[in-house]
Amino acid sequence: MRECISIHIGQAGIQVGNACWELYCLEHGIQPDGQMPSDKTVGGGDDAFNTFFSETGAGKHVPRAVFVDLEPTVIDEVRTGTYRQLFHPEQLISGKEDAANNFARGHYTIGKEIVDLCLDRIRKLADNCTGLQGFLVFNAVGGGTGSGLGSLLLERLSVDYGKKSKLGFTVYPSPQVSTSVVEPYNSVLSTHSFLSIPTWLSFSTTKPSTTSAGDPSTSNAPPTITLIVWCLR
């Protein structure tokens, strides 16, 4: 079995992850409590969904995922949401003070205090894998946590799991939907950190939104949020 571990960082990463795991469960017939009525055998390791889920002795399917944020508000939505029984409590990591849209706080101060705990939880998930393929990283680089802690965690992962692939889904800011004036600075600093990691890096981006006439520059066109897909290996 070739397993993948998902890492969801910051508000955007957690909200995307919450939607993703709901979709994974719906696709494979897994209930919000982790049970799969259609699966009558416990420990069947040949099923494709075991790439993303581990199975307990009681037949419960638990995501191979870690959710990380520097403040608890967004993660509490997962803890109290419909799929709250799906995740192990140790997989939901939150601090008490956010990065305040500051890359430096997420990378050098507040984030540095929590990164070892994150790596410990990731290590536990990796130890339960028979053939770890790599990591899926979900974050945004406009805020302080996704940019600062996200880049710090990737730097540490490149040291501890240098031979494993890291596939990322990163939301980049747009001037049309900006929520903070420092978003461009956070994104530049985070991208520079990605580029400093001595591995192969590839970017691909979504196409801009267009109107019915097909002209993306029309004033009626909806705001564009750029999703960058990158790979480190």
Q: Does residue 101 contact residue 182 with C-beta atoms inside 8 Å?
A: yes
* pLDDT tens readout for residues 176-231: 877 889 999 999 999 898 887 765 555 555 545 444 444 544 445 555 556 677 77
Residue 230: partners with Cβ closer than 8 Å, 6 or more residues away: 167, 168, 170, 194, 201, 202, 203, 204
H and E: helices and strands count for the chain: 7, 9
pTM score of the predicted model:
0.87
pLDDT tens per residue across span 56-110: 988 899 999 999 999 999 999 999 999 999 999 999 999 999 999 999 999 999 9
Which residue segments constitute the domains of the chain, with CATH numbers given? 3-36+45-209+222-232 (3.40.50.1440)
CA R_g for the chain: 18
Q: What is the pLDDT of residue 73?
A: 96
**According to the model, what pLDDT value does residue 35 have?**
92
pLDDT tens figures, 115-133: 999 999 999 999 999 999 9
